[in-house]
């Protein structure tokens, strides 16, 4: 029989993405959680979780179960609060944000939901593919990410890429950089860059093969090193902050479109939360 215990174990596993984290969240041992998921699969007569090398993935049956499991848990919670005479809290808003969105933008969004009386907000940052997977699995209500087509999502920002230089750099005052001028520069590699492969091909084709002093997916560290004068990097212009300047590069004409994509059936939640207005102001 499908029990609430099994439903909660399944939801914890989906939301955390690992047996270890889910077991810690539920305050049970990992073998206990594994046994519960196995029991759930026996009860349903089909696998619901694929245990891959570095991640867990839901089967088709698991995705179908997830929709009902969330509804079941929500109804359990409503029933408990109704019996106890406690008004149900507003559901938390789960927003996924592309890792290369500027930290100050994420901070501005978080600050708008930090006051009393506002909707609860949970922010998750990840790469585009990971955000889209979580959205499809109903682990996020909406994502702020790059839009792939003109019809996809709600456009909030369109911007170009440039060379981010220390403010005191010898080339910082130039209106446009020639790629060849960067041949002798020390570079900081942003591993979270959406156009990393295109950038590599761009400079290689022009004979620019700089020394890389640092490689990281941590945007703040990369930009801090640039501000400190340790190197230069390519990035969307919105990532330029204190101590740095963004200077365009001739022929480096890439652009990105950042927008909001809402999970199917979650439009009312997004409208009630006022998220669109908050993002339009913050981005």
Pick the range with the lowest mean pLDDT from 23-37, 88-102, 172-186, 195-209.
88-102
Phi, psi of 59, rounded to the nearest 5 degrees: -75, 175
Per-residue pLDDT, 196: 93
pLDDT(266) > 70: yes
Taking residues 108-112, what's their average pLDDT?
90
The confidence band for 264, taking pLDDT boundaries of 50, 70 and 90, is confident
73-98, pLDDT tens digit by residue? Answer: 877 777 776 777 666 556 688 999 99
Q: Which of 48-62, 82-96, 187-201 has the lowest mean pLDDT?
A: 82-96
Q: Are residues 200 and 77 in the same domain?
A: no
Given 55, 84, 113, the domain boundary residue is: 84
Q: What whole-number distance in Å separates Cα of residue 153 and Cα of residue 105?
A: 19
Q: Are 80 and 10 in the same domain? A: yes
Q: Are residues 106 and 180 in the same domain?
A: no
The predicted pLDDT at position 268 comes to: 84
pLDDT, mean of residues 13-39: 89
Round to whole Å and give the CA distance between 217 and 127: 10
Pick the more confident residue, 267 or 81: 267
Same-domain status, 249 and 170: yes
Q: 187 and 212 in contact (C-beta within 8 Å)?
A: yes
Contacts of 154 by beta carbon, 8 Å cutoff, 6+ apart? 259, 260, 261, 276
| 211 lies in the same domain as 175 | yes
Q: pLDDT confidence of 115, banded at 50, 70, 90? A: low
Shared domain for 167 and 205, answered yes or no, is yes
| Residues 97 and 172 both lie in one domain | no
Q: What is the CATH number of the domain that holds 28?
A: 1.10.10.10
Q: Is the predicted pLDDT of residue 124 greater than 60, yes or no?
A: yes
Indicate the range of 80-84, 206-210, 267-271 predicted with least confidence.
Answer: 80-84
Domain boundary (42, 66, 84) is at: 84
The answer to whether residues 150 and 263 belong to one domain is yes
CATH code for the domain in which residue 267 is found: 3.40.190.10
- pLDDT of 151 over the 70 cut: yes
175 and 247 together in one domain: yes
The parent domain of residue 217 ranges over 158-255
In a shared domain, residues 185 and 250:
yes
Cβ(77)–Cβ(36) below 8 Å: no
What's this model's pTM, rounded to 2 decimal places?
Answer: 0.70
- Residue 55 CB: number of other CB atoms within 10 A? 11
- More confident call, 4 vs 224: 224
pLDDT at 162 over 90: yes
Which pLDDT does position 155 carry in this prediction?
Answer: 95
In this structure, are 135 and 74 located in the same domain?
A: no
Band (pLDDT 50/70/90 cuts) for residue 272 is: confident
Looking at 84, 119, 139, the residue that finishes a domain is 84
Per the structure, how many domains does the chain have? Answer: 3
Average the pLDDT over 32-55 and give the result: 86
Q: Of the candidates 237, 160, 234, 168, which has an alpha carbon nearest to the alpha carbon of residue 201?
A: 234
Residues 176 and 224 reside in one and the same domain = yes
């Amino acid at each position: 029989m499908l029990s609430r215990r099994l439903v909660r174990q399944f939801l914890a596993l989906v939301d955390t993405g690992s047996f270890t984290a889910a077991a810690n969240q539920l305050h049970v041992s990992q073998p206990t959680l594994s046994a519960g998921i196995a029991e759930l699969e026996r009860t349903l007569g089909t696998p619901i979780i694929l245990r891959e090398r570095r991640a867990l993935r839901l089967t088709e049956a698991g995705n179908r179960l997830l929709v009902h499991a969330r509804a079941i848990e929500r109804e359990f919670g409503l029933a408990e609060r109704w019996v106890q005479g406690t008004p149900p809290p507003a559901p938390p808003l789960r927003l996924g944000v592309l890792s290369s969105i500027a930290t100050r933008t994420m901070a501005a969004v978080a600050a708008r939901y930090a006051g009393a009386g506002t909707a609860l907000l949970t922010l998750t940052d990840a790469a585009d593919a990971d955000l889209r997977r979580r959205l499809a699995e109903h682990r996020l209500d909406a994502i702020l990410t790059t839009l792939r087509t003109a019809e996809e999502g709600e456009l909030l920002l369109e911007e170009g890429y440039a060379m981010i230089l220390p403010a005191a750099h010898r080339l910082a005052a130039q209106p446009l950089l020639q790629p060849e001028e960067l041949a002798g520069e020390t570079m900081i590699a942003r591993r979270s860059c959406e156009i990393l492969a295109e950038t590599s091909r761009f400079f290689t084709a022009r004979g620019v093969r700089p020394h890389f002093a640092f490689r990281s997916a941590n945007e703040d560290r990369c930009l801090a090193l640039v501000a400190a004068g340790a190197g230069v990097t390519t990035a969307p212009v919105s990532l330029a902050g204190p101590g740095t300047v963004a200077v365009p590069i001739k022929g480096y004409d890439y652009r990105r479109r950042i927008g909001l994509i809402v999970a199917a059936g979650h439009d009312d939640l997004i409208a009630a939360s006022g998220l669109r207005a908050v993002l339009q102001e913050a981005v």
